[in-house]
Amino acid sequence: MNIRDGGGLTHLREILYHASPETILFERVIVWGNDLCLQELPNHPWLTKINPLPDKSSGLRTTLWQIFSLGKAARKMNCSLLFIAGGSSITRFRPRVTICHNMLPFTDAALQLYPTGIRKYKFYLLRFIQLHTFQTANGIIFLSDWAKKSLLQKMGMSKHPLAVIPHGVNPGFNFPDRVHRSIEDCTSNKPFTLLYVSRIESYNNQLQVIEAFHQLLIQTQWPLRLQLAGLASDKQYERLVKKKIATVDPEGEVIDYLGAVPYEKLGTYYREADLGIFASSCENMPIILLEKMASGLPIICNDAPPMPDFLLDAGVYVDFKDIDRVTQTLNELIAKKAERIRFSQLGIEACVQYNWKKSSKNTFQYLFDLKNNKHE
């Protein structure tokens, strides 16, 4: 019920899309969700989609429904297992399995970036609810070994079976015909394009990216363009980002603020960009980073964990709090076409192991085995 966008929705959509009657192992799958979620999901004969609160209910009413009605609804539909795809729930239904999507509530350094207020307190409340969900679940799915290790330190060792099942990468983001341009071949009409896709949040460092880009323009006078795409989930931070853009690019000539880009249109931006930026300092499994890698974009990436576990040697790392260093690294990477081509190839190779069909099959196998007590 609490999935509306982002990695959680991508995960649910893809594991259902790539499932089949042979791989789901259950007779049927029922999804309770809001309209924004359900309309994104595929249609299968074995899949039932239900919005129990179709009148665009408030977050409070949704939460109360999950606490008092979700278990009843699952029992009424004769469910043998409940998978909390959104990561948090206080239902008493058993057995139930949850998944760890969001590391932000558990990352103190990222939370310190938020000013004291309702939104910050919501993250701490979410931390409490999710820890309760993890500690009372019959099983937990993690997306990365780093997330598993980090959470176990906070919640203690779990007596229930745990699984690490990474996301996959949509093959629609593969562009084998990508052309890598030298900066000398770029013009004001066809500038060298830097693309950063991520939620507009303080921990994603859009302000630092804009400043580093601005410094690079001043130093080089190269024909460059910066594209920023992502849902503005923090309106206060979005206002700061827009103010910064207006200050460094008052005519709107070199920075495109794209806002939220529909998932099906992301590939167009990946294909047309020349360099990918991933400045996030707080991730579980950075699916957007993997999408950029799969598309063949060379990448400058934040050095915070777990990014190096995924990007490996397929990009350059930098602390985005050091704006001068970011500017210098961008300068060096843009100037070295051969290096960008090498990173592009390494990134494509590193992504081969992340497959949604494999992720879907492993997820349903884990759920089925847990339901039948086959886990040791």
80-114: per-residue pLDDT in tens? 999 999 888 888 899 999 999 989 999 998 999 98
Query: Encoding tokens for residue 333?
Result: 């990477």
Q: Are domains 6-168+355-371 and 171-350 of this chain identical in fold?
A: yes
Strands (E), 159-304: 162-164, 192-197, 224-229, 255-259, 275-278, 299-302
Looking at residue 376, what DSSP letter applies?
A: -
Q: How far is CA 104 from each of CA 110, 202, 335, 358, rounded to the nearest angstrom?
A: 7, 11, 35, 27
Report the top-level CATH class of 6-168+355-371: alpha beta
Count of other CB atoms within 10 angstroms of residue 96: 22
Query: Domain coordinates of the chain in residue numbers?
Result: 6-168+355-371, 171-350
The predicted-structure confidence for 253-295, as pLDDT tens digits, reads as follows 999 999 999 888 999 999 999 999 999 999 999 999 999 999 9
pTM for the predicted model, two decimal places: 0.90
The four Cα atoms 11, 231, 305, 241 give a dihedral, to 10 degrees, of 180
Residue 157 pLDDT: 64
Average the pLDDT over 103-129 and give the result.
Answer: 90
Does the pLDDT of residue 120 top 80, yes or no? yes
Out of 3.40.309.10, 3.40.50.2000, 3.40.50.1370, 3.40.50.150, which CATH number does the structure's domain 171-350 have?
A: 3.40.50.2000
DSSP states of 71-115: HHHHHHTT-S-EEETTS------SSEEEEE---GGG-HHHHTTSP
Residue 285 pLDDT: 92
Does the pLDDT of residue 65 top 70, yes or no? yes
Residue 376 pLDDT: 46
Does the pLDDT of residue 193 top 80, yes or no? yes
